[in-house]
Each structure stands twice: as structure tokens, then as C-alpha cells.
């Protein structure tokens, strides 16, 4: 009896789930339909792979990738989906798996609604056309959705999956926020405590000692969908949660959206946007914090940004992380000396072992490491060779960039030609046979160009990395060889982050890892 792997996927636009571990009706319907179909065919169901709330172009779907791993290990004979687009909307993956690797692994692909079946040699071209149409659909849908969401943001309509802590979605008015009194009372308490002089860590400790759930835990308790945090002590209030709350304009009735933007329609990855690109609309909902308290808190935050040492903010501010819990260490002052300590230790008992180091000691460690690097690369003869090598690499990079530009144009040309061929076929300008012949030729050329492009990009990444490395080291030798004192500018330029642990028992040594920007 053939073994079948059932794959279901729910489009991310479908939001009818109540919590993360409960399948939506759409997924349940897919499973029911596919199981009945498999049983009618007399196939043994090996496993059901289900990705809920994932786009068809998302290559990081966990169950999708698990299915591919099991397919490679030949654990089943058939992959069964509702439609080809549930498996993937990308033409590239259609070719790679359905027409490429699955036949090699001796796996048959079947989708019920659109009658795709790799056992039927005659419908391969229709599967390819389906893939092409799905690719166009993805791109067009992405632009349409982006346009709609931008318009909603400009009009102050809330479009997030969740309301900000302290609010909930208005059941009677879509895109509008109403106050959640239970959480709002905590928000008011945080602002009030800060206005009375309590620090952010002290406020977090007060809430934790009282057992007040943090925003993530509050979502879970309310049965809302949430992403399970991976850090330790994820249910505790932290310094940064308090800090973020105290500066969020949503609490005074202003809608603030668009802080992050997607990298591509093919991935869920986001990147931060500069503040001038945010969408801020005033007076869209009822405020939790009145303007007088808000202004007082903002003034206090501004005044608490005290100078550190020679008129600059903390020398290592935001750069030093606790080696044990991963949170950013904060500065403190005692007997005219500055120290860095893990704030997690103070938000709750046993939250962290409490990494600790003096700023002076850490500065000396960084200076010593910098001197070692300077000594290593200071040899003039080697330096001159490095500069010559760097110039050669830059020329290689320029040539590669020209080739990349050329192949990008080729790929765009082939894609356009395939699309035009399809429309010519629909209009009757060319025959089905001609379309198949020409599109196959263009697809092969496009694939060749894409493979070359991938190799070129890998080459240029390696060269860029070497150039940057050589350039940075050269600048260090030029600018910082004789540095005897660190400045905030030097720290910002040279250091990505530093990990600091707790002093080793019985010694004066503190574990330190310096991660440079080069």
C-alpha cells in the first residue's frame, strides 16, 4: 500500500483562529478532504504536515521543511495537497521539488482541486503555468496589500494582530482600540511610579514581586495567540518593557504604526524603519495616560539621560550584554566609580546570577585587545601588501558587480519573455506546441542565469567581507594605534557588543568576550 504524506497550509490572511495551538477551520477542512481522498484511493497515511498562518512563499515553514526532509529520506511515496499553491506559490520551488527532486526520490505529487499529478506526464506544462500564475499572484497581492495597509495606517486604523498592552480591539468597530481596564491599571501604575521617582528596574521588581503577568504572559492567560519567547525568565517584567511603555504615544491616544517594514513579499522578516517613516495619527482612541502625566514623565526621562564621564553618555551604553541571560547590562555609580551590572538580577529573585564589572576594568581589557591587534598588523611591509591586495579585490568586486547587473537584466528579460509568451498563447498568436517549446527554452536560460547570479553574489560577498576586513584593520592601525583612552565614538565604531560574566570564584578574573565590528 503506497504511503502518503498530507500537506496542509493556511494562508496568513485567514485570521479565524482563537489561539496558536488550535487549528483553524480551514486547516481542519483541508485535513478532512485530503484524508478522505487518500482512503478512497487505498493509500496509507504516513503523516499529516500542517503549517498554520504561513504564506505560500515562506520558505521557513517548519512543517513544509520537515516534509522535505522526510521526502529526501524516502519515508513515503506520495505528497498530497489540496492545491499546488498550498505546497508553494513559487515557480522556482515547483521546478526544484515537484519536477526535479521528487521524481529523483521516486515521490509522486498530487493536488486534488487543480488536478496536478506527476504520474500524469501530460499535465506537466499546466503545473508549470500554475506555478507562473501563482508567482504573479504573489507579487500583485503583495503590492495590493501593501497599498491597502499603508492607506489604513495613514487614516489611523489599527491593523496589528494584537492591541498594545492596556488596550483591546473594539468588537463593534474594526481597526479601533478600546481600553482594557485590567491591563490599563498596570500601565497607569507604571507611569505614576516613574513620576514619583521610581526607576525602571525598581518598577519591574515591584510588578514581579506582586505576581503581575508581563504583556506576553497576559496574552497567554487571556487565550490570545502569542509567540512563545525563547529567552530565560520570559514571563517577568524587564527594564526594557517598562522603558518602551513609558515612551509609547499610543497611551495618550495617538496611533503609531509602521515601525517595522518587510524585507520582501517572499519572507516574514522585518527590519526597523527610521522614525520619519512611521505613521502617527493623533487622537484615534481614548487615552490611558493624561497629557499632564505624559509630559512630566517625558521630561523626567530626558533629564535622567545624565552625562557620563567627559560629557558623553555611558561609554559602553547598549554594548555590554550579560553572558548568562543575554540582557543588556546597565551602568551604576558608587564612590565616584562607574560599574556595569546585569539588570535582570534586580527585577526578581533568582532571575540571573548577576554579571558585574567596573567600567575602568572593561576599558582596560578593550584597550589591551586593541593593542594586540595593532601589534599584529603593524608590520609596514605586510600592511603595504595588504593595501595592494585590497586594491586588487576592489577591482575584482567592480567586475563582479557589472556581471551581476548584466545577469539581472537577462533574468528580467527571460521572465518578461515567458509572461509575454503565455499571453500570446492565450490570444492565439502562437500555438500550444510553440508556447511549450519557447517557454521551456527561456526557462532553461533563466535558470542558468540565476545559477550564475547566485555564484556571483557568493563571490562578491566573500570579496566584500575581505575588503571590509582589510579596510577596517587598516583604519584601526591609522587611527587607534596610540589610543590610551576610549571614547564613545571609538566604542561605537569598533565594537558590535561585549559579553560579560560573573567573577570566577577564588580569583579576580571576569569572563569577557569582545565582538568587534570587523
Is residue 308 very low, low, confident or very high in pLDDT (cuts 50, 70, 90)? very low
Domain count, the chain: 4
Query: Does one domain contain both 21 and 37?
Result: yes
Domain membership of residue 346 as a residue range: 320-376+493-516
Query: Does one domain contain both 93 and 236?
Result: no
Which string of DSSP letters, residue by residue, matches 478-505? Answer: HHHTT--S--HHHHHHHEEEEEE-PPPT
Which string of DSSP letters, residue by residue, matches 343-373? Answer: GGGGTSTTS----EEEHHHHHHHHHHHHHHH
Give the burial class of 124: count Cβ atoms within 10 A of its Cβ; 0-12 exposed, 13-18 middle, 19 or more buried.
Answer: middle
Judge whether residue 436 has pLDDT over 80. yes
CB 257 within 8 A of CB 231: no
Mean pLDDT of all residues in 262-272: 62
191 within some domain:
yes
Query: Does one domain contain both 419 and 354?
Result: no
Judge whether residue 76 has pLDDT over 80. yes
The pTM score is: 0.45
Cα–Cα distance, 388 to 161 (Å, whole number): 54
Q: For the domain that residue 12 is a member of, what is the CATH number?
A: 3.40.50.1390
310 within some domain:
no
Last residue of a domain, one of 272, 304, 336: 304
> Nearest to residue 53, comparing CAs of 27, 77, 85?
27
Query: Does one domain contain both 7 and 64?
Result: yes
Strands 512-516 and 495-500, bridge-based pairing: antiparallel
28 within some domain:
yes
The single residue listed with the C-alpha cell 499546488 is 84
154 within some domain:
no
Q: What pLDDT shows up at residue 381?
A: 47
Give the burial class of 274: count Cβ atoms within 10 A of its Cβ; 0-12 exposed, 13-18 middle, 19 or more buried.
Answer: exposed
CB 495 within 8 A of CB 366: yes
Last residue of a domain, one of 240, 273, 304: 304
Judge whether residue 515 has pLDDT over 90. no
Q: For the domain that residue 220 is a member of, what is the CATH number?
A: 3.90.1750.20
Q: What pLDDT shows up at residue 20?
A: 46
Using only the alpha carbons of the chain, give its radius of gyration. 29
Is residue 246 very low, low, confident or very high in pLDDT (cuts 50, 70, 90)? very high
Query: Does one domain contain both 182 and 235?
Result: yes
487 within some domain:
no
Is residue 312 very low, low, confident or very high in pLDDT (cuts 50, 70, 90)? very low
Judge whether residue 31 has pLDDT over 80. yes
- 359-377 and 380-427 are packed helices; what angle lies between their axes, rounded to 10 degrees? 90
The single residue listed with the C-alpha cell 489599527 is 158
Q: What pLDDT shows up at residue 138?
A: 54
- 239-246 and 181-195 are packed helices; what angle lies between their axes, rounded to 10 degrees? 90
Cα–Cα distance, 276 to 261 (Å, whole number): 13
Query: Does one domain contain both 325 and 351?
Result: yes
Q: How many CB atoms lie within 10 A of CB 138?
A: 19
Residue 368 Cα to chain centre, angstroms: 35
Query: Does one domain contain both 497 and 370?
Result: yes
Query: Does one domain contain both 197 and 274?
Result: yes
396 within some domain:
yes
Query: Does one domain contain both 106 and 222?
Result: no
326 within some domain:
yes
Strand partners, 280: 256
Judge whether residue 129 has pLDDT over 80. no
383 within some domain:
yes
List Cβ neighbours of 222 (8 Å cut-off, separation of 6 or more). Answer: none
Number of DSSP helices (H) and strands (E) in the chain, helices first? 15, 17
Query: Does one domain contain both 181 and 244?
Result: yes
Under the phi-then-psi rule, with left for phi > 0, alpha for psi from -120 to 50, and beta for the rest, what region is 231? beta
Mean pLDDT of all residues in 245-258: 93
Query: Does one domain contain both 290 and 190?
Result: yes
pLDDT 10s digits, 384-412? 444 444 556 677 778 778 888 888 888 88
Cα–Cα distance, 510 to 340 (Å, whole number): 12
Cα–Cα distance, 255 to 249 (Å, whole number): 7
| Residue 272 phi, psi (nearest 5) | -65, 145
Give the burial class of 506: count Cβ atoms within 10 A of its Cβ; 0-12 exposed, 13-18 middle, 19 or more buried.
Answer: exposed
Q: What pLDDT shows up at residue 15?
A: 47
Query: Does one domain contain both 407 and 506?
Result: no
Residues for the chain: how many in total? 518
Amino acid at each position: 500500500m503506497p504511503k502518503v504524506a498530507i500537506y496542509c497550509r493556511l494562508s496568513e490572511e485567514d485570521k479565524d483562529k482563537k489561539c496558536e495551538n488550535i487549528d483553524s477551520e480551514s486547516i481542519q477542512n483541508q485535513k478532512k478532504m485530503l484524508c478522505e481522498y487518500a482512503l478512497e484511493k487505498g493509500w496509507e497515511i504516513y503523516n499529516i504536515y500542517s503549517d498554520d498562518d504561513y504564506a505560500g512563499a515562506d520558505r521557513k515553514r517548519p512543517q513544509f521543511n520537515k516534509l522535505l526532509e522526510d521526502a529526501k529520506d524516502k519515508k513515503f511515496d506520495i505528497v498530497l495537497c489540496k492545491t499546488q499553491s498550498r505546497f508553494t506559490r513559487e515557480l522556482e520551488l515547483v521546478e526544484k521539488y515537484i519536477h526535479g527532486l521528487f521524481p529523483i526520490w521516486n515521490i509522486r505529487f498530487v493536488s486534488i482541486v487543480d488536478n496536478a499529478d506527476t504520474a500524469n506526464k501530460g499535465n506537466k506544462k499546466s503545473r508549470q503555468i500554475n506555478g507562473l500564475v501563482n508567482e504573479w499572484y504573489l507579487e500583485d497581492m503583495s503590492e495590493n496589500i501593501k497599498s491597502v495597509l499603508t492607506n489604513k495606517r495613514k487614516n489611523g486604523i489599527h491593523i496589528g494582530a494584537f492591541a498594545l498592552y492596556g488596550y483591546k480591539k473594539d468588537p463593534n468597530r474594526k481597526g479601533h482600540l478600546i481600553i482594557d481596564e485590567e491591563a490599563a491599571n498596570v500601565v497607569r501604575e507604571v507611569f505614576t511610579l516613574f513620576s514619583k521617582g521610581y526607576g525602571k528596574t525598581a518598577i519591574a521588581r515591584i510588578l514581579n514581586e506582586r505576581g503581575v503577568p508581563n504583556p506576553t504572559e497576559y496574552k497567554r492567560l487571556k487565550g490570545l495567540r502569542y509567540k512563545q519567547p525563547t529567552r530565560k525568565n520570559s514571563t517577568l517584567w524587564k527594564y526594557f518593557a517598562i522603558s518602551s511603555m513609558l515612551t509609547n504615544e499610543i497611551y495618550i491616544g495617538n496611533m503609531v504604526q509602521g515601525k517595522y517594514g518587510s524585507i520582501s513579499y517572499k519572507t516574514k522578516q522585518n527590519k526597523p524603519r527610521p522614525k520619519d517613516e512611521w505613521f502617527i495619527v493623533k487622537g484615534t482612541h481614548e487615552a490611558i495616560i493624561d497629557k499632564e502625566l505624559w509630559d512630566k514623565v517625558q521630561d523626567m526621562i530626558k533629564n535622567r539621560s545624565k552625562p557620563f564621564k567627559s560629557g558623553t553618555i555611558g561609554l559602553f551604553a547598549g554594548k555590554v550584554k550579560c553572558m548568562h541571560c543575554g540582557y543588556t547590562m546597565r551602568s551604576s555609580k558608587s564612590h565616584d566609580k562607574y560599574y556595569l551590572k546585569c539588570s535582570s538580577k534586580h527585577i526578581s529573585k533568582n532571575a540571573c546570577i548577576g554579571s558585574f564589572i567596573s567600567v575602568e576594568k572593561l576599558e582596560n581589557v578593550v584597550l589591551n585587545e586593541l593593542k594586540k591587534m595593532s601589534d599584529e598588523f603593524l608590520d609596514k611591509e605586510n600592511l603595504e601588501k595588504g593595501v595592494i591586495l585590497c586594491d586588487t579585490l576592489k577591482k575584482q568586486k567592480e567586475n563582479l558587480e557589472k556581471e551581476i547587473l548584466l545577469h539581472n537584466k537577462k533574468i528580467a528579460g527571460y521572465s518578461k519573455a515567458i509572461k509575454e509568451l503565455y499571453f500570446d498563447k492565450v490570444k492565439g498568436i502562437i500555438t500550444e506546441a510553440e508556447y511549450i517549446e519557447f517557454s521551456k527554452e527561456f526557462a532553461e536560460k533563466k535558470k542558468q542565469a540565476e545559477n550564475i547570479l547566485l555564484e556571483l553574489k557568493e563571490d562578491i560577498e566573500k570579496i566584500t567581507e575581505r575588503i571590509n576586513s582589510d579596510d577596517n584593520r587598516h583604519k584601526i592601525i591609522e587611527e587607534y594605534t596610540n589610543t590610551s583612552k576610549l571614547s564613545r565614538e571609538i566604542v561605537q565604531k569598533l565594537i558590535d557588543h561585549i559579553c560579560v560574566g560573573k567573577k570566577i570564584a577564588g580569583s579576580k578574573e571576569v569572563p569577557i568576550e569582545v565582538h568587534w565590528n570587523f
